[in-house]
Amino acid sequence: MCDEVEIQKWKAIIRGPPGSSYEDYLFDVSIDVPANYPLVPPTMKFTTKIFHPNVYFSTGDICIDILKREWSPAWSLQSACRAVMSILHDPNPDSPLNCDAGNMLRAGDKLAFDCMAKLYCEEFATKIPSKLLVPLSSSSSSSSSSSSSSSTLSFASASASASASASASASAFHSESTFASASVSLSESVATSSSASSSTTDTFAPEGK
């Protein structure tokens, strides 16, 4: 359910990528879309506590170039979420917001980092139930691949809608029906992924009360 007053506030639910310390965990990320988007990047923060060199632990602020000086109006909210997923798989210890995590990786102590990251995942993140887990690399059939692509881009329509509305005029953000029709809940996304034997890489939905 979207916030009728703050329609520019969104929430992404991102699944930790395979092969990372965050695999099979779900993380909430808040997204504030400014009135002059897409000329200005959205503000994204982890609302789920996470141990990561590029995320400030107490506030959830994310240090990533695409959300700052390298932002382009050609990029969408989907692009921003993909960038966040990329740092979950490949942390950058050279520009850390979390010095403890950065120091572990710079010292080459990957085992210590993985242990700490998984400890915080167990404490704060949402573990995907084992009965709902489907390998992200699943490609046993063309239909499975098609379903996986659809699930992976489950929030693409919302991103495109937000981008088109913002570039037309800031006033377009009050159109609740446009955003409401694009909203997707976590439970629907996971259930759809399970029934189609596909994966849910990330789910994108408006932040609700």
Of the candidate ranges 22-36, 88-102, 127-141, 153-167, the one whose mean pLDDT is the lowest: 153-167
The mean pLDDT of 197-206, rounded to a whole number, is 44
Instruction: Name the pLDDT band for 156 (thresholds 50, 70, 90).
Output: very low
pLDDT at 41 over 70: yes
pLDDT at 151 over 90: no
**Each residue of 57-76: pLDDT tens digit?**
999 999 999 998 899 999 99
Q: Tell me the two tokens of residue 188.
A: 């629907």
Are the C-beta atoms of residues 116 and 101 closer than 8 Å to each other? yes
- Type of residue at 182: A
Spot the catalytic one: 2, 63, 81, 99: 63
Give the Cα separation of 40 and 69 in Å (integer): 10
Are the C-beta atoms of residues 205 and 184 closer than 8 Å to each other? yes
63 labelled catalytic: yes
The pLDDT value recorded for residue 175 is 38
Burial class (CB in 10 A: 0-12, 13-18, 19+), 129: exposed
Q: Compare 110 and 162 and report the one with higher pLDDT.
A: 110
Instruction: Name the pLDDT band for 124 (thresholds 50, 70, 90).
Output: very high
The pLDDT value recorded for residue 7 is 80
Are the C-beta atoms of residues 41 and 109 closer than 8 Å to each other? no
Nearest Cα residue to 26 out of 47, 1, 2, 53? 47
Q: Tell me the two tokens of residue 202.
A: 């990330």
Give residue for tokens 């377009």: 172
Instruction: Find how far residue 116's CA is from the centre of its chain.
Output: 21
Q: Tell me the two tokens of residue 55.
A: 């995320």
The pLDDT value recorded for residue 200 is 40
Are the C-beta atoms of residues 120 and 22 closer than 8 Å to each other? no
pLDDT at 119 over 60: yes
The mean pLDDT of 33-53, rounded to a whole number, is 95
**Each residue of 74-111: pLDDT tens digit?**
999 999 999 999 999 999 999 899 999 999 999 999 99
The pLDDT value recorded for residue 131 is 74
Read off the DSSP letter of residue 125. S
The pLDDT value recorded for residue 120 is 97
Tell how strand 9-15 and strand 202-206 pair up: antiparallel
The pLDDT value recorded for residue 5 is 65
The pLDDT value recorded for residue 133 is 73
* Cα 83 to Cα 43, 68, 75, 133, distances in angstroms: 13, 12, 11, 23
Q: Tell me the two tokens of residue 58.
A: 């107490």
Interior CA angle at 199 toward 57 and 139, to 5°?
A: 135
